[in-house]
Amino acid sequence: MKEYKFGYIHSIETMGLVDGPGIRIVVFMQGCMLRCLFCHNPDTWEKKSNNYMSSKQIVDEIRKYRPYIESGGGVTFSGGEPLMQSEFLLDMLKLCKKSGIHTCLDTSGTAYNKRYLKEILKYTDLVILDIKAITEKKYKKMTGKSMDMFNYFLNELNKSNNKVWIRQVIIPGINDNYEYINKLKEYLKQFKNIEKVELLPYHKMGIEKYRKLNIKYRLNAEEANVDEVKKLEKLFSDNFQI
Amino acid sequence: MEAWENFKGSKWQKNIDVNDFILSNIEEYLGDEKFLKGISKKTYKVWNKCKKLLSKEAISGVLDVETFIMSGIDNFEVGYIDKSNEVIVGLQTDEPLKRIVNPYGGLRMVKQALDAYGYHLDKELETRFREFRKTHNDGVFDAYTPEIKLARHNHLITGLPDAYGRGRIIGDYRRLALYGADYLIEQKKLDLSKITNINEETIRLREEISEQIKALELIKKMASRYGVDVSKSAVNAREAIQFTYFAYLAAIKQNNGAATSIGRNTAFFDIYIERDIKRGILTEEEAQELIDQFVIKLRLVRHLRTPEYNELFAGDPTWVTESIGGMIDDTHSCVTKTSFRILNSLNNMGPAEEPNLTILWSKNLPENFKKFASSMSIKTHALQFENDDLMRPIYGNDYAISCCVSALALGHQTQFFGARINYPKVLLYALNGGRDEITGDVVIDGIDEIEGEYLNIDDVLKQFDKVLRKTVKIYVDALNIIHYMHDKYAYESSQMAFLDTNPEYLMAFGLAGFSTIVDSFSAIQYGRVRVKRDERGITQSFDAELDFPKYGNNNDNVDLIAVNLAKRVYRELKKYNLYKNAIPTLSILTITSNVVYGKHTGETPDGRKAKMPFAPGANPSHGADKMGALASLSSVAKIPYKDCCLDGVSNTFSISPEALGSEDVRATNLVNLLDGYFKSGGHHLNVNVLNKSLLIDAMNNPSKYPNLTIRVSGYAVNFNSLTREQKEEILARTYHERI
């Protein structure tokens, strides 16, 4: 009998229509090693939660929604940082692929266990990769960590030939200008297989969670204007066809 | 010109069989919406006049009331909106939006409504009516038992149609167009002549058929006032639509039923339209004009209601439901170009609540139509969707939706509408020895008091079964009386004339407060519920000490309680003989009355406070569904339609455009969502893809939008969980984006 892996999840959202193509079941996994200033999910930072489940339990849950996700949808593993529980994640990905479910990994490209990374990418149909910053200095400032892990991930991602969607949160006063966007476009040239670039307007709706968790909110910025962000996003449509 | 020239098929030519006519002549349309045309000059002018009248009406509540004439098929002078530009004619009275006094259901309600809007019934008319005529309402109260009156007074059984028109009948109005009144009269006379064995039942039937024949004669007279001869078959598309509308118009001149649906007309009209286009006597612009003007007429349907009625149903609804789409068999659909044309009326004249456009959804519908209907739903949030794959095997391919969710085989079935039981009260009565938790009245006798600080599921079930059994009996008695009296004093001869002489009758029972009672039982079973009682010994508040599963999270532990609670009621209903041998059906549907029903109900074991609203229809309780929209939909989809809730299981689903994905994929996402829900066995879905005005409403009435999710970059939140300021902020943003 197969032994299923166990892991910690934060929650399962049964209808995500914005994290990957089609209708998606989004599994929010627990744990992240980054401490991004703009993070709206501080409740997923800790390694553990009360929700300790087996890969089979989770995939059984996902399978219940087959009529909704079978045409063009699937599952998205998000977080937290799903790669932080690499072995558990891999187990779930394998089970999903066995059931013919489209898999998507919403990640910052960090916190993985190197041993499993290649295989994880093998069982992933689409990677949604969050760009935190494009220079070592700014990355460190934004996330509290060095860029080494991210760079290694990027390398593996390119080798894997996986399809990629890029995400970048736009924060007024930090990266909401044409200069940065042009640099980002240049930076993204080293990626293979980018299908889409999404710019997400920064918002403060996570602040309430910080208050409840008694964590200091350190970013002092305005919320981004949705229309302005859309304008910036249009700059990518020439280079990156959807 | 021969009326039936170029039409195929023979069965329908020998007997009344509109469905055979459609099946023999329908041209399914698989293409997209690109052929559609905009609003015509004439329609623009007519609709502009209507818009002015409608905004005037919105201020005063009622534009005008005819107080010197009472309801009737041919009692009113002709009326026009803009005569020279109307291609489809006919109004309820001599002026658009002028309302009819219909006292046959009950005079008291008419008086209240007139008083509320500052009108007075002509004195002489009132005196004579009172002297010579008894109403449905009078009849009902002569026959009501003390038990019924008590259950009604305490809101255990609520919304009974005992003071106004029962509605819910759908005549097959297409019959007038296809056959003409003379042939229909001939057939009714033939039916009458065959009834020779005289007993109480056949006496009643003979009288009813005679009334139907008189109604058909009156429809001819009414139409001739407008210069239209409906005695023979319609010869072209304009006549087909005009005749069908006249048949419906007779219904709403004579009756004021709560919901008076129009049926399923697009495929029928399409056959005439396509024939005319092929003959070269109709253009696409003119075809759209006919449909738009037909829709305008349906938008102007009005009945005189009391303000309390409007509060109960949130506005002034008439439920002129038109059913669109659906399949003929597994591979052929009823989708025609006219299915597109009628949805296009929402483009040409803007969204409106009426007619209540209902898409009969099948996984096999043409993809182009699925996508168009979804995009129109996103654009207008004016459509509802129902599961054709679930209903078609039961009702055949030619059924239509009555009111919101109730299917009827057109022309062959009709319905006795029956409001609903306040289901949480059944549980509260079980906990309180049959006493009402608010008034303290003993409404159900013979129930033992439950004692002790904690509720035990077995003790509760024992009393619950007794209360339910007795409640259902009272409910059945009430409906039998109501429909006996309605037939006697307010018979809808103009509608019944367009049905078979011996139709199948469905008696539609209903449940309100469904999620509240389901979660309450879950609390008792899993939550260790401690109860506090007042000085009368009646439950006042409940405290669940443990977490318990809630309906709406796709959790079988509680969802099976829901299934069981629906089945229990239906099992009880099946025990009774119903008036006219009606078959019982059951709905879980409240429209918007869930708020008012909640007001009359004390605190419930699920933690819902006294007087707080119930969730609408079969929706999970407000805020109880925490696993996302698909989990919520999946729970509702488990409630059995076949063999249980044949009158419909209503679900209202709200989602913001942003949460439905980026603009280019929204329609496809909605198609997949609907496919998923209906493949899972769901019956009905109201879809709200919300714009600003709905968001404002959501802010003020959060319980109406339990599933409203919004995208806040990276993840989605439930709108209700945000603070007022955040909501206002999002409102500003959404609106901003749309400009």
Domains of chain B, by residue range, sit at 11-74+86-128+172-413, 654-739
Q: What share of chain A is helix, strand, coil (3-state, %, to 5)?
A: 35, 20, 40
Task: Give per-residue pLDDT as tens, B35-49.
Answer: 999 999 999 999 999
Q: Whole-model pTM?
A: 0.92
Note whether B335 and B369 are within 8 A (CB): yes
Average model confidence (pLDDT) across chain B: 92
How confident is the model at residue B115, as a pLDDT? 93
Q: How close B537 gets to chain A, by Cα (Å)?
A: 40
Percent of chain B at pLDDT > 90 equals 80
Could you count the other beta carbons within 10 Å of the beta carbon of residue B139? 21
Identify the residue with better confidence: B694 or B658: B658
Contact B669 A14 (CB under 8 A): no
Angle between helical axes of B284-299 and B41-60 (0-180°, round to 10): 10
Contact B627 A14 (CB under 8 A): yes
How confident is the model at residue B714, as a pLDDT? 24
C-alpha B604/C-alpha B545 separation (Å) is: 15
**Dihedral (C-alpha) B143, B144, B146, B147: value to the nearest 10 degrees?**
140
What lies within 8 Å, CB to CB, of B109 at 6+ separation is B137, B163, B164, B306
How confident is the model at residue B646, as a pLDDT? 96
Q: Is the pLDDT of residue A121 over 70?
A: yes
Contact A201 B713 (CB under 8 A): yes
Burial tier of B248 (Cβ tally within 10 Å: 0-12, 13-18, 19+): buried
Nearest residue to B135 via CA among B107, B175, B155? B107
In the residue annotation, B645 being an active-site residue is answered as: no
Q: Is the pLDDT of residue A176 over 80?
A: yes
Within 8 A of B714 by CB-CB distance, chain A residues are 40-41, 169, 200
How confident is the model at residue B717, as a pLDDT? 41
Contact B630 A25 (CB under 8 A): yes
Q: Is the pLDDT of residue B738 over 80?
A: no
Question: What one-character-per-residue DSSP string does B119-177 give?
Answer: ----HHHHHHHHHH---HHHHHHHH--HHHHHHHHTTSEE--SSSS--------THHHH
Average model confidence (pLDDT) across chain A: 93
Could you count the other beta carbons within 10 Å of the beta carbon of residue A150? 23
Could you tell me which residues are beta bridge partners of residue B413?
Answer: B504
Q: What are phi and psi of A109, to 5 degrees?
A: 70, 35
How confident is the model at residue B312, as a pLDDT? 62
Tokens of residue B107, six digits? 């005079």
Region B207-231: mean pLDDT is 98
Could you count the other beta carbons within 10 Å of the beta carbon of residue B34? 7
How confident is the model at residue B596, as a pLDDT? 81
Note whether A242 and A164 are within 8 A (CB): no
How confident is the model at residue B308, as a pLDDT? 76
Percent of chain B at pLDDT > 70 equals 93
Task: Give per-residue pLDDT as tens, B275-289.
Answer: 999 999 999 999 999
Note whether B104 and B71 are within 8 A (CB): yes
C-alpha B603/C-alpha B610 separation (Å) is: 4
How confident is the model at residue B581, as a pLDDT? 97
Q: Which fold has domain B11-74+86-128+172-413?
A: Anaerobic Ribonucleotide-triphosphate Reductase Large Chain (3.20.70)
C-alpha B292/C-alpha B399 separation (Å) is: 23
Tokens of residue B184, six digits? 């229909």
How confident is the model at residue B491, as a pLDDT? 97
| DSSP label at residue B707 | T
How confident is the model at residue B735, as a pLDDT? 30
For the A6-234 domain, the top CATH level (class) is alpha beta
Angle between helical axes of B146-153 and B457-489 (0-180°, round to 10): 110
Q: Is the pLDDT of residue B725 over 80?
A: no
Tokens of residue B577, six digits? 């003989």
Contact B713 A12 (CB under 8 A): no
Contact A23 B673 (CB under 8 A): yes
| DSSP label at residue A239 | T
Q: Is the pLDDT of residue A241 over 50?
A: no
Region B207-218: mean pLDDT is 98
Q: Is the pLDDT of residue B729 over 60?
A: no
Q: Is the pLDDT of residue B708 over 70?
A: no
Residue B627 in contact with partner chain A when CB distance is under 8 A: yes
Within 8 A of A17 by CB-CB distance, chain B residues are 659-661, 665, 669
Nearest residue to B583 via CA among B395, B404, B425? B395
From the list B672, B716, B722, which residue is nearest A16 (CB)?
A: B716
Confidence band of B266 (pLDDT split at 50, 70, 90): very high
How confident is the model at residue B626, as a pLDDT? 84
For A72, name the nearest residue in chain B, comparing CA atoms only: B672
Q: Is the pLDDT of residue B733 over 90?
A: no
Residue B547 in contact with partner chain A when CB distance is under 8 A: no
Q: How close A65 gets to chain B, by Cα (Å)?
A: 7
C-alpha B91/C-alpha A75 separation (Å) is: 54
Note whether A83 and A37 are within 8 A (CB): no
Nearest residue to B96 via CA among B56, B69, B59, B68? B56
How confident is the model at residue B721, as a pLDDT? 60
Q: Is the pLDDT of residue B692 over 90?
A: no
How confident is the model at residue B380, as a pLDDT? 80
Q: Is the dihedral of CA B57, B62, B67, B70 positive or negative?
A: positive
Region A159-185: mean pLDDT is 94
Note whether B230 and B176 are within 8 A (CB): yes
> H/E element holding B275?
helix B266-279
- Would you list the domain boundaries of chain A? 6-234
Within 8 A of A205 by CB-CB distance, chain B residues are 712, 717, 722, 726
CB half-sphere exposure, A31, CA atoms < 13 A: 19
How confident is the model at residue A161, as a pLDDT? 86
Contact A17 B723 (CB under 8 A): no
Contact A169 B713 (CB under 8 A): yes
C-alpha B688/C-alpha B619 separation (Å) is: 14
Contact B713 A202 (CB under 8 A): yes
C-alpha B289/C-alpha B44 separation (Å) is: 10
Q: Of B436-440, B669-673, B715-719, where does mean pLDDT reach its minimum?
A: B715-719
Task: Say whether A10 sits in a helix, a strand or coil.
Answer: strand
How confident is the model at residue B31, as a pLDDT? 98
Tokens of residue B148, six digits? 């019924």
For A242, name the nearest residue in chain B, comparing CA atoms only: B664
Q: How close A225 gets to chain B, by Cα (Å)?
A: 8
Q: Is the pLDDT of residue B713 over 70?
A: no
∠ at Cα B613 (B434, B306), nearest 5°? 95
Residue A50 in contact with partner chain B when CB distance is under 8 A: no
Q: Is the pLDDT of residue A242 over 60?
A: no
Task: Give per-residue pLDDT as tens, B520-558.
Answer: 999 999 999 999 999 999 999 999 999 999 999 999 999
Three-state helix/strand/coil letters over B203-257: HHHHHHHHHHHHHHHHHHHHHHHCCCCCCCCCCCHHHHHHHHHHHHHHHHHHCCC
Residue B454 CA, chain-centre distance (Å), reads: 41
Question: What one-character-per-residue DSSP string does B339-398 give?
Answer: HHHHHHHHHHH---S-SEEEEEE-TTS-HHHHHHHHHHHHHH---EEEEHHHHHHHH-SS
Burial tier of B122 (Cβ tally within 10 Å: 0-12, 13-18, 19+): middle
> What radius of gyration, in Å, describes the C-alpha atoms of chain B?
26
CB half-sphere exposure, A76, CA atoms < 13 A: 29
Region B509-513: mean pLDDT is 96
Confidence band of A208 (pLDDT split at 50, 70, 90): confident
Read off the amino acid at residue B656: S
Note whether A171 and A219 are within 8 A (CB): yes
For B733, name the nearest residue in chain A, comparing CA atoms only: A226
| DSSP label at residue B301 | -
Read off the amino acid at residue B70: M
ipTM for the whole complex: 0.91
Angle between helical axes of B266-279 and B174-193 (0-180°, round to 10): 120
How confident is the model at residue A239, as a pLDDT? 54
Confidence band of A204 (pLDDT split at 50, 70, 90): confident
How confident is the model at residue B438, as a pLDDT? 97
Q: How close A205 gets to chain B, by Cα (Å)?
A: 7
Residue B440 in contact with partner chain A when CB distance is under 8 A: no
Task: Say whether B322 sits in a helix, a strand or coil.
Answer: strand
Mutate to test the interface with B, among A9, A11, A18, A66 (most CBs of B within 10 A): A18
Q: Is the pLDDT of residue B712 over 50?
A: no
C-alpha B21/C-alpha B8 separation (Å) is: 8
Residue B725 in contact with partner chain A when CB distance is under 8 A: no
CB half-sphere exposure, B29, CA atoms < 13 A: 23
Nearest residue to B93 via CA among B72, B107, B108? B72
In the residue annotation, B334 being an active-site residue is answered as: no
How confident is the model at residue B728, as a pLDDT? 63
Contact A73 B629 (CB under 8 A): no
Q: Of A75-79, B243-247, B315-319, B403-407, where does mean pLDDT reach its minimum?
A: B315-319
Nearest residue to B624 via CA among B717, B695, B528, B707? B707
Q: Is the pLDDT of residue A71 over 70?
A: yes
**CA distance between the termini of chain A:** 43
Task: Give per-residue pLDDT as tens, B292-331.
Answer: 999 999 999 999 988 777 666 555 778 899 999 999 999 9
How confident is the model at residue B715, as a pLDDT? 25
